[in-house]
Structure 1
Amino acid sequence: MYTSNFNNLILNSDSYKTSHWVQYPAGSEYMSSYVEARGGDYDVVFFGLQAFIKEYLSKPITQQDIDEAETIIQAHGLTFNRAGWELLLAKHGGYLPLRIEAVPEGSIVPVSNVVCQIINTDPEFYWLPSYIETSLLRAIWYPSTVASVSRYCKGIIRQALEKSADNIDSLPFRLHDFGARGASSFESVALGSLAHLVNFSGTDSMTALVAASRWYGMNKDMPAFSIPAAEHSTMTAWGREGETAAYANMLKQFGGAGKAFSVVSDSYDLWNAIDNIWGDSLKDDVKNMGGTLVIRPDSGEPIKVVREALQRLAVKFGTTINSKGYKVLPDYVRIIQGDGISPQSLGKIVDAVMEAGFSADNITFGMGGGLLQQVNRDTMSWAMKASAISIDGNWKEIYKDPITSHSKRSKKGRLALIEDSNGQLKTIRADELTAYSNNLLRDVFVDGKLITEDSLTTIRERAKW
């Protein structure tokens, strides 16, 4: 059985990449490739490159990496570019002779535009930009897609609050990340949950807090918050006959001025919990505790459940009419809906809430699989493609244009991203840049060094509505 360092960058690629160094034309010197999201329903929120560079590109390739990679790749049935990797070790100390430029993280870029571009800085390593395509593209598409979905959801909630609430001050806490247990891996949680925090300040993924400190300079400031919350086990442990006592215990443990806590209330009968327990037996305790009880439904058809829950709570606790003409529950009781939330269902729920006369201020959302797991590379059609090659000192534009799918047509040449005279972002060839055009792509990584580093705070400001 072959064993290897799990962080061996040579093995962090597709198998077929290992033979590509002999497939390029003789005289090849420089290869330029770019990354874009070719389509989809969301604007791109660019995020994640800095994390990848810090975790994987800031460490040199070692002789041990080369030896292990050769053993595995040759046993795998493929050729291995040992001379190339050993030259990299000898000439560059194992650091990759690459230049990666990209838009600043947190930038909002329409689809079909370049967001990242990579080129080798040493002509002997023309094969290297393509070799790291697998890891680089993955490092960008996943967190950028999650950040893009999260921002899209933020827009839905923002519009609902602008229409139906007195203010939107609570917007950063209106979509809570519930996705840790449903994500495919620990690193997916770290990247995806952190990407959500570009837009929001609520999460139950503690891994994201570690990631923010590790990769984005949040060593002292807390990037996100949560509240005490019940799960079914802590409620059903009291037995069905002890449901009231279980809820009363939550009030006792977590109630108090300025405090908030969440209680899942549908382990048995949500309507009984609202009408007869929260709204009757414990009503005075809820009103007088000084904090905010957040009732959490966790089953059923979300639109129907949220609307009916609000209506029943209004009967029991009353409402006021805000400046926009919508009903608002007392400050001490709210709802969080965390089951069945997706970008599509979210809009339908807030529409139903407002159609029933309630402000979106009454409800917060939790999003799990729809945020971190129900995305893939095709969600926004991400791709990394070679667009220019220098052969014997001459640059040549290269591209693909399959007759069977024009949507996969790639861009040509060395690229730049500019803001045109209408304020729109536009991809152009770098040789079209003028003294009056500012290339929004900036150097991020050059020859083993992270050139530009941003904190999560700075990235949030860029992505802010």
Structure 2
Amino acid sequence: MAAVPICMDNALLVTDSYKVTHHLQYPPGTTTVYSYFECRGGKFPEVVFFGLQYLLKKWLVGPVISREKIVEAKEFYKLHFGQDCFNEEGWNYILKEHGGRIPIRIHAVAEGTIVPVKNVLFSVENTDPKVPWITNWFETLLVQVWYPLTVATNSRAQKEIIAKYLLETADNLQGLPFKLHDFGFRGSTSVESAAIGGAAHLVNFMGTDTIAGIVCARKYYGCKMAGNSIPAAEHSTITSWGKSGEAHAFRNMLEKFPKGLVAVVSDSYDIWNACEKVWGQELRDLVIKRGKGGNTLVIRPDSGEPADVVVKVLTILSKAFGVVKNSKGFKQLPPYIRVIQGDGISYESITAILERMKKLEWSAENITFGSGGALLQRLDRDTQKCAYKCSYAVIDGKPTNVFKQPVTDLGKKSKKGRLSLEYDHGKYRTVEEGKGDPAKDVLMPVFENGKLLREFTFEEIRARAEISILKQSTNKSK
């Protein structure tokens, strides 16, 4: 049977089913519905706010409602519910009176801002009293900011760990922006999730193989080139030479890419033999010769228990190529040879690897990490307990504070009234019931009636999200 055509960018179809019926459920006389988004807790005590601009520009900027889309949605929902409960009149009103532009107002904290959990991050309210239901129609879409926000938060937390160990065991932090490389494209649930998740990681780091993330940062945040990569081997390009030809495959990598960094996966058969006999003996002179031009070979183990494998690889390489001790007394391989661990990398395992290296007097400068599933996929909305709740309404002209307080889980208690996010003396706090000081409120208008009011560049987002130690060093240099 032929597929029935449907418009995949129809904003009337990016909501949960039950919301189609909610226009009939608010109290009579309701003219305003005001809702907010927050992280109610979770794995990390603070979050990087990122990704709202992407959602707004992709779905809500401009005249996004048309007569054709309304007709399509009406037919679709009639089939879906088995009855006609779609608010055709309301959407026709928006088309006629607002030219198809969504009559909501959004105030948000600037993207890239680091905010402790349990604080408001953005608020949404209708601007036309005849369509109060529209505020929560778009909850489903807007809550999806949880994903880029959580990826950026997780990525930044790993940056803080790596920075800590570099401070303790290396001479400087110069290599930090490239210490966690995004390997997550193939493990993502879709190209779109790889794009926004990949961009979220690039808020903190400069290394990626997730091209979709770079494209996203370019299209939605105006960044010409957000991330970099290097020539690198995969198992097929090594194993296609055969087991007896592994050394020829390695040599080919050095000869085909004589300049700059090149990464070579080396565990296809025996990582210990590859490091000791092939890299450390057969190709040793070529590696050293290549390194004299300031070029670097990066050896990639890709199996085994990460901490055990990394320190053993470093030890084998040190016997072949030697080591020096830096100013802090930690061992470093020559600058022309490094290691990248790209298997089993997560927030937890990075700490374990770096701690083991430190105990054995290896500098964190020797290693770079590549992360896939744990970086872009091993998270969900509950990682930071993201929620969107109504906190204020106007009913029959009367302002009403709205909240929930379930006796079975007080952690889900919601905030009351209009909210502001105040920043004072280096701390954020959410003020409820409209009692905030506008002069201290950092929530700013970012969207109103189909128009993007404030556009954040990737450069300024990165600057806001920078970890404290680097912000301090930047300020000192100024």
Q: TM-score range by the shorter chain?
A: over 0.9
Separation (CA, whole Å) in 1 of partners of 2:22 and 2:306: 51
Separation (CA, whole Å) in 2 of partners of 1:305 and 1:434: 55
Q: After superposition, where does 1:390-429 map in structure 2 within 5 Å?
A: 390-421=394-425, 423-429=426-432
Partner secondary structure for residue 464 of structure 2: helix
> 1:84 aligned to 84, 90, 104, which one?
90
Partner secondary structure for residue 124 of structure 1: coil
Separation (CA, whole Å) in 2 of partners of 1:329 and 1:367: 23
Residue in structure 1 matched with residue 163 of structure 2 by the alignment: 158
Residue in structure 2 matched with residue 141 of structure 1 by the alignment: 146
AA partner of residue 66 (structure 2): T
Q: Are residue 108 (structure 1) and residue 114 (structure 2) matched?
A: yes
> 1:203 aligned to 205, 208, 228, which one?
208
Q: Are residue 236 (structure 1) and residue 242 (structure 2) matched?
A: no
Q: Are residue 350 (structure 1) and residue 351 (structure 2) matched?
A: no
AA partner of residue 264 (structure 2): V
> 1:328 aligned to 329, 332, 350, which one?
332
Q: Are residue 121 (structure 1) and residue 123 (structure 2) matched?
A: no
Shift of 1:41: 2.3
> 1:223 aligned to 190, 206, 226, which one?
226
Residue in structure 1 matched with residue 54 of structure 2 by the alignment: 51
Separation (CA, whole Å) in 2 of partners of 1:407 and 1:261: 49
On the 8 A contact 1:29/1:124 being kept in 2, the answer is yes
Residue in structure 2 matched with residue 446 of structure 1 by the alignment: 448
Q: Are residue 21 (structure 1) and residue 23 (structure 2) matched?
A: yes
Partner secondary structure for residue 289 of structure 1: helix
Residue in structure 2 matched with residue 177 of structure 1 by the alignment: 182
On the 8 A contact 1:2/1:72 being kept in 2, the answer is no
Give the alignment's TM-score, normalised by structure 2. 0.94
Contiguous gaps of at least 5 residues in structure 2: 468-478
On the 8 A contact 1:179/1:372 being kept in 2, the answer is yes
Shift of 1:438: 1.4
On the 8 A contact 1:38/1:380 being kept in 2, the answer is yes
Partner secondary structure for residue 410 of structure 1: coil
Residue in structure 1 matched with residue 471 of structure 2 by the alignment: none
Shift of 1:430: 6.0
On the 8 A contact 1:109/1:425 being kept in 2, the answer is yes
Shift of 1:431: 2.5
Partner secondary structure for residue 20 of structure 1: helix
Residues 395-442 of structure 1, C-alpha deviations (whole Å, 9 max, x = no match)? 111111111111111111110101234x2110002622236x411100
Q: Are residue 373 (structure 1) and residue 371 (structure 2) matched?
A: no
Q: Are residue 167 (structure 1) and residue 168 (structure 2) matched?
A: no
Separation (CA, whole Å) in 2 of partners of 1:48 and 1:326: 40
Q: RMSD in angstroms over aligned alpha carbons?
A: 1.0
Q: Are residue 273 (structure 1) and residue 274 (structure 2) matched?
A: yes
Q: Percent identity?
A: 48
On the 8 A contact 1:398/1:413 being kept in 2, the answer is yes
Shift of 1:362: 0.2
Contiguous gaps of at least 5 residues in structure 1: none
Q: Which structure 1 residue ranges, 4+ long, deviate > 4 Å from structure 2?
A: none
Separation (CA, whole Å) in 2 of partners of 1:36 and 1:311: 47
> 1:318 aligned to 296, 315, 322, which one?
322
On the 8 A contact 1:145/1:380 being kept in 2, the answer is yes
- How many residue pairs end up in the alignment? 458
AA partner of residue 460 (structure 1): R
Residues 169-191 of structure 1, C-alpha deviations (whole Å, 9 max, x = no match)? 11100000000000000100110
Separation (CA, whole Å) in 2 of partners of 1:147 and 1:445: 22
Separation (CA, whole Å) in 1 of partners of 2:86 and 2:225: 46
Partner secondary structure for residue 125 of structure 1: coil
Separation (CA, whole Å) in 2 of partners of 1:382 and 1:2: 35
AA partner of residue 289 (structure 2): N
Separation (CA, whole Å) in 1 of partners of 2:282 and 2:15: 61
Separation (CA, whole Å) in 1 of partners of 2:417 and 2:392: 5
Residue in structure 2 matched with residue 301 of structure 1 by the alignment: 305
Partner secondary structure for residue 300 of structure 1: coil
AA partner of residue 188 (structure 1): S
Shift of 1:202: 0.5
Residue in structure 2 matched with residue 359 of structure 1 by the alignment: 363
Residue in structure 1 matched with residue 32 of structure 2 by the alignment: 30
AA partner of residue 54 (structure 2): A
On the 8 A contact 1:238/1:245 being kept in 2, the answer is yes
